[in-house]
Structure 1
Amino acid sequence: MDFEYLSPLDENLVEEIRATEAQDLGKQVTLHTQRAGVPDLDNIKIAVVGVKETRLAGAGEDEYINFNKIRKDFYSLFPGNWHLKVADLGDIEKGESVEDTYYALQNLVSELLKEGVIPVILGGSQDLIYAQYRAYDSFAQMVNLVNIDSRFDLGDAEKPIGGNSYVGKIVVNKPYNLFNYSAVGYQTYFNSQDEIELMDRLFFDAYRLGEVSGNIKIVEPVMRDANLVGIDIGAINASAIGGNFHSSPNGFDGKEICALARYAGISDKVTSLGIYEYHSGYPKAGNMLIAQMIWYFIEGVNYRTNENTISAKKEFIKYQVPIDDEVLVFFKSPVSGRWWIEIPFISNSNTKLKRHTLLPCNHEDYLEACNQVIPERWYKTKRKNEL
């Protein structure tokens, strides 16, 4: 694996991390240091990496960005009852151009995915999610992206990419890998009606902040279907993050954003997480919250049930629900109690999904189907597959 893009952790930071309590994460995580070099990835499940790219940041460029404050707080925490190993690979420095940074991040994430390692990316501008997404190009699969953000970040695909305008590029640029885009926590007054209508026309999923805050469990099936997840720190309310750079009074609180991070971790399909729009001016509370988000993501990964395997699916309980001319097929796991609904394969059509696919859902979707109401996510997914 090519690690030429990675810079080791600052030696003063390493000394502080190693000086923590014996049972802290700082004593258990393998670090990329000047002396030891890049860690061996054998048996590593999660790799933390910082990306010091802020030139297109929504909050403005941060010339002095580093992630030492987050790392100090993260490594001062005690681990849970975990059975997986974590490494910190250090940072990707700014390239000569933003595109150079994209290239480095895309290659690194792609290599980590091939090794079965889940990257946790700490980044400046959220346009870095474009490189995170492009890392999946070599896997010849359709990709589901979940973005926790107050804005859709669709942008104009004809204009240059930016921290608040990158999804359009993901949609129109080859190769066309995107199957679904889900926006979680959007706030209507930050999004034009044109964008809201475009999300609907593309059959993408969108969940308003109030909807998620009122029942955060509705996001679990969405996360369960995601391949990669991005979190814009601006989706967190100002009182929780404690910063002057994302000053919206509305947004997720600390408990909610950590719950969403845990949902992302516990999903068997999520293979990368990005936390973006960080600014080094955040106070102690903001850095500690981001550290705890990482902690909850790792906690989720540790408790995965691996229900995407063929052997696990053989144990699922099957339910069939006739609605009009359709027969909806639901499955329930006897182990976790989680639900899925089948998306049928259309053999005589140029569909995006090449086989029958199980779409994560919840028990309420099954109950609604029994009352002759077709689940909205099933309808959207079926329509996307037919286009």
Structure 2
Amino acid sequence: MEFDFLSPVHEDLLDEIRNLNPLAIGANIKLHTERSGMPDLEAVNVAIFGVSENRRAEKKTEAPDFDRLRETFYGLFPGNWKLNLADLGDIRAGATVEDTYFAVQTLVESLIKNDVLPIILGGSQDLIYAQYRAYDNLDQMVNLVNIDRNFDLGDAEKPISSHSYVGKIVVDQPYNLFNYSTVGYQTYYNSQDEIELMERLFFEAYRLGEVTSDISLMEPILRSADLVGLDLGAIDSAALNSSFFKSPNGFNGREICALSRYAGISDKISSFGVYEYQEQLGEQANMLIAQIIWYFIEGVNYRTNENTISAKKEFIKYQVPIDDEVLVFFKSPVSGRWWIEIPFLSNVNTKLKRHTLLPCSEADYLEACNQVIPERWYKAKRKNEV
């Protein structure tokens, strides 16, 4: 694959890589360099690239450079991974923001079609719009999970920004979005109008306190996602040790790494973005972000491929009658994970596949046995009917 808009990894960083322990990630990752060009991606499983674009950020700063983050990540040791990694370098800001979006969309789409999972290191979070648009030609409805303190719905009538890109995703054609979930929102950063709009659209919103009280509840949410975006502003500023992010509340280091691992272990997620990176972030912040990426890759390594038809044939089926409905649950005998079937409406124009399974928890099954319809199932069913 050739992409003229990608800049290679800087030469001075390559000099530092040569001094790494031979077992470190940096000594074993395929690199896009000026001398050797783009690496062969034939056997690559995960590819990292940066995007130096933040012209539509709410808080204007210099376009980020990812060298210090790369240096920190390269110095880590891999787990017992059976994955091949590549670093494709950076997409520099185009003549217009739309040019940058096009480059991101083109690269992500190409990587996904070639079974390479992209990790995007972003400037401003409006780049999720380009990440999402990469699915336009993949003939599927997609679920977007945003780990963020804000919903980022914004005003779709106004120009796109890092706090309004979701509104554009909802209204712009082609319509590929089936579900949008915000993980870790903080009420005082979101207007009541936006909170009510999330309800009316049957989107999912999980407050920070709800998530941190039991982080495992987010595993089914991330298992149902196709793409994930992480706003670094969702992290407690003390965990980042940064004056740029000023929120005293947010995820701590362990919690954000656990969410990242849940995202990685999901068989369905095909792209992952970390956004709002700032060049002035210090050593502690770079180490935490490097560990977030590490945990995502760790999760990818331990995927069980339960999204395949052959794997689903082994699932244990449970039927639960509630009022006029019969809810159909499935449990994997291998991982112990649960799914619930979404009713398929043949007369609705939809890209949803027949007998779509929605990830859920054992608690959802037990509640159904007590005649309580799971909220996620209800919202998914209503979206399919609209």
TM-score by length of 2: 0.99
1:15 is matched with: 15
Q: For residue 54 of structure 1, report the CA deviation from its aligned partner.
A: 1.1
Structure-1 separation of matches of 2:4 and 2:21: 32
Q: Which amino acid aligns with 2:48?
A: V
2:374 is matched with: 375
What whole-Å deviation, never above 9, does each CA across 1:133-163 have from its counterpart, x for those lacking one? 0001011110100000000000111000001
What whole-Å deviation, never above 9, does each CA across 1:197-244 have from its counterpart, x for those lacking one? 000000000000000000101110011010000000000011001111
Q: For residue 356 of structure 1, report the CA deviation from its aligned partner.
A: 1.3
2:237 is matched with: 238
Structure-2 separation of matches of 1:349 and 1:62: 47
For the residue of structure 2 that corresponds to 1:299, the secondary structure is: helix
1:168-187 equivalences in 2 (<5 Å): 168-187=167-186
Q: CA contact under 8 A between 1:133 and 1:228: conserved in structure 2?
A: yes
Structure-2 separation of matches of 1:319 and 1:259: 29
Q: CA contact under 8 A between 2:32 and 2:88: conserved in structure 1?
A: yes
Identity of aligned residues (%): 69
Q: For residue 17 of structure 1, report the CA deviation from its aligned partner.
A: 1.5
Q: CA contact under 8 A between 2:140 and 2:351: conserved in structure 1?
A: no
Q: CA contact under 8 A between 2:2 and 2:38: conserved in structure 1?
A: no
Q: CA contact under 8 A between 2:140 and 2:352: conserved in structure 1?
A: no
Tell me, yes or no, if structure 1 residue 86 matches structure 2 residue 90.
Answer: no
Q: CA contact under 8 A between 1:307 and 1:313: conserved in structure 2?
A: yes
Tell me, yes or no, if structure 1 residue 209 matches structure 2 residue 216.
Answer: no
Tell me, yes or no, if structure 1 residue 286 matches structure 2 residue 285.
Answer: yes
Q: CA contact under 8 A between 1:351 and 1:386: conserved in structure 2?
A: no
Structure-2 separation of matches of 1:54 and 1:355: 40
What whole-Å deviation, never above 9, does each CA across 1:29-65 have from its counterpart, x for those lacking one? 01111111111001100000000001112332324x2
Structure-2 separation of matches of 1:193 and 1:375: 24
For the residue of structure 1 that corresponds to 2:137, the secondary structure is: helix
For the residue of structure 1 that corresponds to 2:292, the secondary structure is: helix
1:49 is matched with: 49
Q: CA contact under 8 A between 2:144 and 2:226: conserved in structure 1?
A: yes
Q: For residue 354 of structure 1, report the CA deviation from its aligned partner.
A: 4.2
2:37 is matched with: 37
Tell me, yes or no, if structure 1 residue 157 matches structure 2 residue 122.
Answer: no
1:139 is matched with: 138
Q: CA contact under 8 A between 1:59 and 1:246: conserved in structure 2?
A: no
Q: Which amino acid aligns with 2:158?
A: K
Closer, same or farther in 2 for the Cα pair 1:181/1:38, shift >3 Å? Answer: same
Tell me, yes or no, if structure 1 residue 300 matches structure 2 residue 299.
Answer: yes
1:250 is matched with: 249
| Alignment gaps of 5+ in structure 2 | none
1:61 is matched with: 61
Q: CA contact under 8 A between 1:266 and 1:302: conserved in structure 2?
A: yes
For the residue of structure 1 that corresponds to 2:45, the secondary structure is: strand
2:197 is matched with: 198
1:189 is matched with: 188
What whole-Å deviation, never above 9, does each CA across 1:74-103 have from its counterpart, x for those lacking one? 000000000010000000001011111001
Q: CA contact under 8 A between 1:179 and 1:352: conserved in structure 2?
A: no
Q: For residue 2 of structure 1, report the CA deviation from its aligned partner.
A: 3.3
| Alignment gaps of 5+ in structure 1 | none
Q: CA contact under 8 A between 1:352 and 1:386: conserved in structure 2?
A: no
What whole-Å deviation, never above 9, does each CA across 1:259-297 have from its counterpart, x for those lacking one? 011000000000000000010010100000000000000
Q: CA contact under 8 A between 2:181 and 2:204: conserved in structure 1?
A: yes
Q: CA contact under 8 A between 1:352 and 1:385: conserved in structure 2?
A: no
Q: Which amino acid aligns with 1:54?
A: N
Q: CA contact under 8 A between 1:59 and 1:277: conserved in structure 2?
A: no
Structure-1 separation of matches of 2:126 and 2:350: 29
Tell me, yes or no, if structure 1 residue 2 matches structure 2 residue 2.
Answer: yes
Count of matched residue pairs: 386
Structure-2 separation of matches of 1:339 and 1:245: 40
1:337 is matched with: 336
For the residue of structure 1 that corresponds to 2:256, the secondary structure is: helix
Q: For residue 346 of structure 1, report the CA deviation from its aligned partner.
A: 1.8
Which moved further from structure 2: 52-61 or 74-83?
52-61
Structure-2 separation of matches of 1:242 and 1:352: 44
Q: CA contact under 8 A between 1:235 and 1:251: conserved in structure 2?
A: yes
For the residue of structure 2 that corresponds to 1:259, the secondary structure is: helix
1:266 is matched with: 265
Structure-2 separation of matches of 1:126 and 1:349: 33
Tell me, yes or no, if structure 1 residue 70 matches structure 2 residue 69.
Answer: yes
For the residue of structure 2 that corresponds to 1:320, the secondary structure is: strand
Q: For residue 15 of structure 1, report the CA deviation from its aligned partner.
A: 1.1
Closer, same or farther in 2 for the Cα pair 1:181/1:145, shift >3 Å? Answer: same
Q: Which amino acid aligns with 1:310?
A: I
For the residue of structure 2 that corresponds to 1:346, the secondary structure is: coil
TM-score by length of 1: 0.99
Closer, same or farther in 2 for the Cα pair 1:270/1:199, shift >3 Å? Answer: same
Q: CA contact under 8 A between 1:350 and 1:386: conserved in structure 2?
A: no
Q: Which amino acid aligns with 1:70?
A: L
